[in-house]
A and B are shown apart, each in its own frame.
Chain A
Amino acid sequence: MLKMTHLSKVYRTEVVETYALRDFNIDVKEGEFVAVTGPSGSGKTTFLTIAGLLETFTGGHYHLDGIEVSQLNDNARSKIRNEKIGFIFQAFNLIPDLNVYDNVEVPLRYRGMKGAERKQRIMDALERVGLASRAKHYPAELSGGQQQRVAIARALAGSPRLLLADEPTGNLDTQMARGVMELLEEIHREGATIVMVTHDPELAARAQRNVHIIDGQVVDLSEEPRFHAQNARVADA
């Protein structure tokens, strides 16, 4: 589903080159639930933005659902983002001027979907996250957990092949975080491929596989879950 080989991302200024990712390799299979952990500045978010085609990379290869994305133009990247990827952001990133229904509708409109199908998908997605009754509410009228559920509904409505979650519970209290995590697990059980960046070792432990990033490179800890947990706590500290 998602395969990066020898991928690098370099930020250049006039005086310095900074490697955010260096010789970065990862292979996420279809249907996997992968947690990506690592200390601050390790390159987790850079990995996620490249994986989500939100920015380009400097070298190497990236295949998403069998497509080599490095040569795609902006329109093609937009189309892939719209059709194949669902995003869940730490800050929810709902559009404050639009109500819940309209927020979930945003990616579907960009897909050019007909009104009736849009409506069906939106209501299905909102039912799924338990917020169908809040369709006419604005984000400011919802709790953080509810807002994140709306964001998940927005991501699910387009039936993406890959769900990318960036600290999805980072802005939530424990109870709300648990609810969101259970929702993600449920979505995964139904066959979705999920890549989740998190600082939280407890959440990471609930994923199928953990990928640890340090200094822009991958350390696969899937064979050593205990070590991973300890390491994650150290990193977190």
Chain B
Amino acid sequence: MDIKPILAALRHHKGGTALIALQIALTLAIVCNALFIIQQRLDRVGRPSGVQESDLFVIQNDWAQKLAPAEADARMRADLQTLRQLGSVQDASASNSFPLHGAGWDNFVRMSPDQVKMTTDSAIFFADEHTLATLGTRLAAGRNFRADEIGSQTGNDPLHARQVIISDGLARTLFPHGSALGKTIYTSNDQSPSTVIGITGTLQSHLTELWAQPYAYNAVLVPARLTGDSTFYLVRARPGQLVDAMRQAQDALYAQSRMRIIPADGGVMTFAQARQRAYDADYGMAILMGIISAVLLVITAAGIVGLTSFWVGQRRKQIGVRRALGARQRDILGYFLTENLLITLGGLLLGVVLAVALNLWLVIRLGSQPMSPLYLAGGVLLLLLLGQGAVLAPALKASRVPPVEATRSV
């Protein structure tokens, strides 16, 4: 198909041609970036937490009255004993937070007491000798806490942890060239040292926000129960007994003491529900971007169908003349497909520039990551197929215009 006469004809339809090319360009720019954002969000949502999530649930326990630290600690220990004795429960532990929770403690981690600038940031999880088993998180090196190492403290007390277990991610950040085991780190402002006695496998922080991406796998397990107004009981049900364990655990805690509040909404939730909550915004963003992309693609396809249909109607006699002069049906079909291809390619050329510019803006202004060229290539291919698919019906209609149309007066 010769493109010279098609280009010559397009020069006489600059308005429609420019509009549809611009629409294609904007669609490419937005769809590429939207797909990239969707992929980023799905990647985040799909990250491993390092926790065996099935059969794990969380109880939010708020004390109904202000308790003295010793009283709160005693009640927590009693609650944990009650939970561990349930037939449907495999293990239980108490903590201030848990992976993916969103809220919790995160402290700066330093390598020396007088270090001014932090080395990194890390989640602080209060833990005991049951925590790793309850989470289903494996110990990659070192040892677990012993029962006699577990203390208690309030939120106002400085963090004094002589021994800590840290996540594999944090260990690699702090000691990229050697083992962290036995090394000293500083997680508190009062310069008290902590010795690393164990390193877990993958363990995710409670932080899920985009800004916390570099710290997402940094966690320090501190051997203490945090006494305060509320606590989280992490409970691992025996395999297949999750539903029973959730009901029995709540009943058992209330039987132990009514002086507590377990919120009706989300007070007892599976880890799967916690994960869903953690990534609600990501799912929402992915769905929104998906809808925007789909709507834009539909509008663009409709624009191409509309414009080509209009042109076919407008050029019906001209098509008849071409047929009279020897054009076959496939020549007419090819003409409109080529014409649309040229417009689409023009739009895509502009679209690639716009897509890169939009991504740069997102990188500079919103801290997004640079988009892989694969998204551009995918977007270009998608819009090429969409364009040719959209023009097919009106182009086929054009090819069926009979040659006798040339003799009919307009």
Contacts and interface: CB of A to CB of B under 8 A. Distances in A.
Interface in A51-65: 52-55
Contact of B407 (A89, A96, A98, A106): A89
Interface stretch (B123-131, B238-246, B326-334, B368-376): B326-334
A193 to B, nearest CB: 18
B404 A93 contact: no
Given A74-B328, A107-B326, A110-B331, A98 B5 contact: yes
Nearest to B409: A91
Interface string A151-184: 0001000100000001000000000000000000
Contacts of A106: 5, 322, 325
Contacts of A79: 326, 328
A102 B326 contact: no
A155 B402 CA distance: 19
Interface string B4-28: 1100110111000000000000000
Given A55-B403, A95-B318, A87 B325 contact: yes
A93 B317 contact: yes
A81 B327 CA distance: 9
A54 B328 contact: no
Given A97-B12, A109-B5, A166 B407 contact: yes
Given A48-B407, A49-B407, A110 B5 contact: no
Contact of A78 (B13, B321, B327, B406): B327
A45 to B, nearest CB: 6
Nearest to A79: B326
Most chain A CB neighbours (cut-off 10 Å) among B12, B329, B407 = B407
A105 B6 CA distance: 13
A137 interface: no
Nearest to B9: A97
Contact of A96 (B11, B12, B323, B325): B12
Contact of A102 (B8, B327, B328, B404): B8
Nearest to A82: B326
A133 interface: no
A154 B9 contact: no
A89 B405 CA distance: 12
The number of chain B residues touching the other chain, given as a range, is: 20 to 34
The number of chain A residues touching the other chain, given as a range, is: 20 to 34
Contacts of A81: 323-326, 403
Given A45-B407, A48-B407, A49-B407, A93 B321 contact: yes
Contacts of A75: 328-329
Interface in A192-227: none
Contacts of B317: 93
A77 to B, nearest CB: 8
Contacts of B12: 96-97
B326 A54 contact: no
Contacts of A158: 326
A54 B8 contact: no
Contacts of B322: 95, 106, 110
Contacts of B328: 74-75, 78-79, 110
A78 B8 contact: no
B8 A98 contact: yes
Given A96-B12, A98-B8, A109-B2, A89 B327 contact: no
B400 to A, nearest CB: 10
Interface in A79-113: 79, 81-83, 87, 89, 91, 93, 95-99, 102, 105-107, 109-111
B402 A54 contact: yes
A97 B317 CA distance: 13
B338 to A, nearest CB: 13
A232 to B, nearest CB: 22
B40 to A, nearest CB: 46
Interface in B265-295: none
A16 B400 CA distance: 25
A74 B323 CA distance: 10
Contact of A95 (B11, B321, B323): B321
Contact of A83 (B2, B8, B326): B326
Nearest to A102: B5
A79 B324 CA distance: 10
A75 B328 CA distance: 6
A21 to B, nearest CB: 14
Contacts of A82: 325-326
A96 B318 CA distance: 9
Nearest to B326: A82
B125 to A, nearest CB: 72
Contacts of B331: 78, 110
Interface in A98-153: 98-99, 102, 105-107, 109-111
A75 B323 CA distance: 10
Contacts of B324: 52, 54, 81, 87, 93
Nearest to A81: B326
A26 B317 CA distance: 29
A120 B338 CA distance: 27
Contacts of A93: 317, 321, 324, 406
Given A74-B329, A89-B407, 11 more contacts: A49-B407, A54-B324, A55-B404, A78-B327, A81-B325, A82-B325, A91-B409, A95-B321, A97-B13, A99-B8, A158-B326
26 contacts: A53-B403, A54-B323, A54-B403, A74-B328, A74-B329, A78-B326, A78-B328, A79-B326, A79-B328, A81-B323, A81-B326, A87-B406, A95-B321, A97-B9, A97-B12, A98-B9, A102-B5, A102-B8, A106-B5, A106-B325, A107-B325, A109-B5, A110-B326, A110-B328, A110-B331, A158-B326
Interface of B: 2, 4-5, 8-9, 11-13, 317-318, 321-329, 331, 402-404, 406-407, 409
- Identify the 10 closest CB pairs spanning chains A and B, nearest first: A82-B326, A97-B9, A110-B326, A107-B325, A54-B404, A97-B12, A55-B404, A54-B403, A78-B328, A93-B321
